[in-house]
Amino acid sequence: MNLDLSPEHELIRSTVRDFAESRIGPVAEELDRESRFPYEIVAELADLDLLGLPIPEEHGGAGGDTVSYAIAVEELTRVDASVGVTVAAHTSLGTMPILAFGTEDQHAEWLPQLARGERLAAFGLTEPEAGSDAGAARTTATLDGDSWLINGSKMFITNAGTDISACVTITAVTGEVGGQSEISNIIVPNGTPGYEVSPPLKKMGWRASDTRGLTFENCRVPARNLLGERGRGLAQFLEVLDGGRISIAAMGLGAAQGAYDLAFGYARERQAFGRPISGFQSIQFALADLATEIEAARGLTYRAAWLKDEGREFALAAAQAKLYTGELSNRAVNTALQIHGGYGFMDEYPISRLYRDQKVLEIGEGTNEIQRLVIARQLGLP
């Protein structure tokens, strides 16, 4: 058994870490304060091939593996979760479904621009009254001649409303089979008449990422925009989420590592009772626990990514990694803020932003409760 990362993986880590610390770190607080999407940084990420890292080279991507992708997302989120989720949502949710289920024509139309990072992609599942219960979706798509007529709405969608957004793939009810809703996936290009995006939603965290509500009113797209087999939308979506959970696990890992790094540095500098607070056993124990748990989380996350790369079953590992890193990152940001004391409550200290950014990692791509259901079913429990 060899647990060492390859030289290529180490290069990915050092490259992304250097970029995150030198380019993202200095402007992260400003972007968060102004709720401003980081167009310049996204363009530089594209230049580094980080917006198509796991996409095959023949489609314009970098041809990297899932482990490389997880490392990149971890390192970005370690500095700024808004940038991390922009990359994760574009890749795992926006681009990968088209790669996995698209036709050759759909590949040719969408993948090169998405893999090169020229445009961003989104996935629209959640609705105002359908989140964890995805089967309760009310958005409909009716086949009308050689086109789909779409009506409905989506909520909390990432990357759908930027100036460089290309398309959103949505789940929609396309009929009824055996008394059950038939759900399919359909690609909707930005700018299609009848497709409108709301103003950016005001959020507690991830303020520099793009999050919108979407509305479809008699929105007509060609029938060829059906992604994959009709009626297989939920099955496709669940497969997409399995992979997406690896990237969210990597975000949780990065958030925990970032919080630890801030707490470690602050504890060595902050003086109390005549010495650095890192000399007090209570602080040492807190940091020791975090360091241990972060290594465990890294093992879970990288193993899930490795299983995917090996073509082996990874759904259980991905759900476990996502659950564990989500809850660990909660403990990490809380502990790190406590070590900062009153200064941690001030927005001028980065831990304040990491604290706000963390919570959604326990909600998005399946809540903690849903993860436990997924894990229980994977274990064979009724």
Sign for the pseudo-dihedral over CA of 16, 243, 90, 98: positive
What are the start-end ranges of the H helices in the chain? 7-19, 25-34, 39-47, 66-79, 81-88, 96-101, 104-115, 233-269, 281-309, 315-340, 350-358, 368-378
Instruction: Examine the residue annotation and report whether 365 is marked as an active-site residue of this protein.
Output: yes
Check 57, 269, 365, 369 and give the catalytic one.
365
**Residue 6 CB contacts under 8 Å (≥ 6 apart), including other chains:** none
Q: Report the distance separating Cα 328 and Cα 55, nearest Å.
A: 29
Helix (H, G, I), strand (E, B) or coil at 207: coil
Bridge partners, 187 (sequence order): 169
Is the Cβ–Cβ distance between 207 and 219 less than 8 Å?
A: no
Nearest Cα to 262, choosing from 71, 79, 17, 31?
A: 79
Q: What angle (nearest 5°) sits at the alpha carbon of residue 151, between those of residues 193 and 130?
A: 130
User: What single letter denotes the amino acid at residue 343?
Assistant: Y
Q: Report the distance separating Cα 276 and Cα 151, nearest Å.
A: 61
With b for 16 or more beta-carbon neighbours within 10 A and e for fewer, the 308-332 pattern comes to bbeeeebbbbbbbbbbbbbbbbbbb
Is the Cβ–Cβ distance between 288 and 364 less than 8 Å?
A: no
CA dihedral 33, 38, 44, 49 (to 10 degrees): 110
In the numeric block, the tokens 């460089």 are attached to 164
Angle of the 81-88 helix axis to the 66-79 helix axis, nearest 10: 150
- The residues annotated with a catalytic role in the active site are 365
